[in-house]
Structure 1
Amino acid sequence: MVIGATGQIGRVAVGALARDGWEVTAVSRGGGRDEGWPAGVRAVGADRGDDTELAAVIGDGCDVLVDMVAYGPEHARQLTSFADRIGSAVVISSVSVYEDDKGRNFDTQAEPDGFPVYPVPLGESQRTIQPGEASYSTRKAGLERELLAVGDRLPTTLLRAGAIHGPHCRTPRELYFVKRNLDARRRRVIAYGGESRFHPASVHNIAELIRLAAVRPGTRALNAVDPDAPTAAEIAAAIDAVMGVETETVLVDGPPPAPSVGDTPWSVPVPVVCDMSAAERELGYRPVVRYVETLPDTVAWIERRLAGGRDWREAYPKMFQAYGDLFDYAAEDTWLKS
C-alpha cells in the first residue's frame, strides 16, 4: 500500500513496486492513477488524516505500507495503531532532521553564523534535532523518533531525502534557471562562487530505495540522495545544455551581494553532501539514475507548467511561499550595472 501515490515520489514508486511483482494499492485523496502504472495497480481515494478512512483501505492488512506524506508524530502514532495489520513500513523523511555538533540546523540558517556545518559526507550517525512543533524539520524529527522507538512492533525504514527533483515537483529548484532561460535572461548571478552543493535526490533513486526496503524489512534511518552532488554552477550549465542556450554566469564570492540577487535555491555557504554507504550495505542499493540524466524530463515538465506565459507564482505557489521572489530582474540589473 502506497499513501500519497499521486505525488512526485509516489507516482514512480508505485510503478517500481508493481513491476517488481507486488500487488499495489495506490492511495491518494483523489484516488487518481498515473498513466505509467501497470494495469494491475488498484487506485483508491482516502484521506490519510482520517483514521477511519485509512483503516478502511488497509482492511485486513498489507505486507508493506509506504508513506510519502507522513509529517509529524501524530502520523507515527497513527501508523503504530495499525501495526497489527502492517508487516513493515517505508516512510519518507528529510535530511533537514540533522543538526551539526554546535546545534545548528536548517531552522537556524537565517541567524548569524547559523548555517549548519556538517561532515562531508554526512552520515546517518550524525545527531538529529529535538522533536517539536516549531517547524517542518522538528516535526519530521518527531515522526522519526516515535517510529524508531516502536521498531519491534512495526519495522520501519525511514528515508532521509535530499533536494527532491523530478516531474510533478511542487517546489522545483530547477525553476530558477529554467525560467531565466525562457525569459531570455542571458546573464545570471550565482553566489558563493557557484560552488554551493546541496545534495539532490531523484524520485527514481528514492523509488529504488523503497523497492529494496520493501523486501528487506528493518528498523533504520537511511539517507536518500543521488550519486552526484553537483555545484550550483554545474546545475546551471547542465540546464543550459538541455535547453540549448548559452548564458554568461557572473560568480560572486561569498553570500548574495544584494537581496534576491544570486541567491539560488541551492545557494548554501558550506556543502550539504550525504553518504549513501549505509543504504548500499543494508539494502544492496545502487543508484538507477544520475542527476543530469533526469534533467530533460524535469525541464520539460517545468516548461509545460509555464506554457502560454503562465505566472510562475500561480504554477508553483509553494515555491513562491518558500523562496519569495526568485525573479527580481530589476534588482539583478541594478546590481550588475553597479
Structure 2
Amino acid sequence: MVIGATGQIGRPAVEALARDGWEVTAVSRGGERDGDWPGDVRVVRADREDDAALSAAVGDGCDVLVDVVAFGEGHARQLVSLAGRVGSAVVISSVSVYEDDKGRNFDTQGEPDGFPEYPVPITEEQRTVRPGDSSYSTRKAALERELLAAGDRLPVTLLRAGAVHGPHCRTPRELYFVKRALDGRRRRVLAHGGASRFHPASVHTIAELIRLAAPRPGTRVLNAVDPEAPTVAEIAAAIDAVMGVETEDVLMDGPPAAGGVGGTPWSVPFPVVCDMSAAERQLGYRPVVRYADTLPETVAWIEGQLAARDWREAYPKMVRAYGDLFDYAAEDAWAAARRA
C-alpha cells in the first residue's frame, strides 16, 4: 500500500512496485489513477489525516506500507497503530533533519553565520535536530524518533531525501532556470561563484530505494539522493542544453546581493552532499538515473505548467518558499552598477 500515491514520489513508487510483482493499492485523497501504472493497481480514496479512513484502507492488512507524505509525531503514531496489520513500512524523511557539529541546521540558516557546515559527504550517523513541531525539519525528526522507537513492532526504513526533482513537483528548483530561458534572459548571476551544491534526489532514485526496501524488512535510516551532486552552474548548463539555449554566467563571489540577485533555490554557502554507501550495503542499491538524464521530463513538465499562466499561479508554494525568484529589474540594476 502506498499512501500519497498521486504525489511526485508516490507515482513512480507505485509503478516501480507494481512492475516488480507486488499487488499495489494506491491511496490518495482524490483516488486518481496515473496513466503509467499497470492496470491491476488498485486505487483507494482516503485522507491520511482521517485515522478511521486510513485504517479502513489498510483493511485486513498489507505486507508493506509505503508512506511518502508522513510528517510529524502524529503521523508516526498513526502508522504505529497499524503495526498488527502491517508487515513493515517505508517512510520518506528528509536530509533537512541533519545539523552540523555546532548545532546549525536548515532552521538557523537565516541567522548570521547560521548555515550548517556539514562534513562532505554526510552519512546517516550525522547528528540531527531536536524533534519538535516548530518547523519542517523538527517535525521530520519527530516522525523519525517515534517510528524508530517502535521498530520492534513495525520495522521501518526511513529514507532521507535530498532536493527532490521530477514531474508533478510543486516546488521544482529547476523552474528558476527554465523560466529564465523562456523569458529570453541570456545572462544569469550566480552567487558563491556558481559552486553551490545541494544534493538532488530524483523521484526515480527514491522509487528505486522504495522498491529495494520493500522486500527487505528492517529498521534503518538511509540517505536517498542521486549518484552525483552537481554544482548550481552545472545544473544551469544542463537545463540550457535541454532547452537548446546558451546563457552567459556572471559569477558572484559570496552570497546573493540585495534583492536576492545571484540567489537560486540551490544557492548555499557550504555544500550539502550525502553519502549513499549505506543504501548500497544494506539494500544492494545501484544508481538508476543521473541528474542530467532526468531533466527532459522535468523541463517538459514545468513548461506545460507554465503554459498560458503566470508562474505564481502555477507554483504558489514556490512563491511562499522563495518569494520573487524573477526580479529582473533588481538584477539589471545590479549589472548596471557593476558595469559603472
For residues 109 and 51 of structure 2, the distance between their equivalents in structure 1, rounded to whole angstroms, comes to 36
**Structure 1 counterpart of 2:181, one-letter code:** N
TM-superposed CA distance for 1:258, in Å, is: 1.8
1:236-278 CA distances to partner (integer Å, 9 max, x unpaired)?
0000000000111111011012222111000000000000000
Equivalent residue number for residue 282 of structure 1: 282
Alignment of 1:38-49 (within 5 A): 38-49=38-49
Alignment of 1:110-149 (within 5 A): 110-149=110-149
Equivalent residue number for residue 14 of structure 1: 14
**Structure 2 counterpart of 1:178, one-letter code:** V
- Tell me the TM-score normalized by structure 1: 0.99
> How many pairs does the alignment contain?
337
Equivalent residue number for residue 230 of structure 1: 230
SS at match of 1:259: helix
For residues 235 and 65 of structure 2, the distance between their equivalents in structure 1, rounded to whole angstroms, comes to 34
1:168-210 CA distances to partner (integer Å, 9 max, x unpaired)?
0000000000000000011111100000000000000100000
- Tell me the TM-score normalized by structure 2: 0.99
Equivalent residue number for residue 301 of structure 1: 301
1:110-162 CA distances to partner (integer Å, 9 max, x unpaired)?
00000001010000000110001110000000000000001000000000000
Identity %, equivalent residues: 80
For residues 141 and 259 of structure 1, the distance between their equivalents in structure 2, rounded to whole angstroms, comes to 33
For residues 260 and 106 of structure 1, the distance between their equivalents in structure 2, rounded to whole angstroms, comes to 18
Matched, 1:322 2:321: yes
**Structure 2 counterpart of 1:162, one-letter code:** G
Alignment of 1:46-57 (within 5 A): 46-57=46-57
SS at match of 1:104: coil
Equivalent residue number for residue 97 of structure 1: 97
Matched, 1:248 2:248: yes
Equivalent residue number for residue 218 of structure 1: 218
For residues 127 and 260 of structure 1, the distance between their equivalents in structure 2, rounded to whole angstroms, comes to 31
Alignment of 1:250-265 (within 5 A): 250-265=250-265
Unaligned runs of 5+ in 1: none
Alignment of 1:162-177 (within 5 A): 162-177=162-177
Alignment of 1:187-206 (within 5 A): 187-206=187-206
SS at match of 1:87: strand
TM-superposed CA distance for 1:41, in Å, is: 0.1
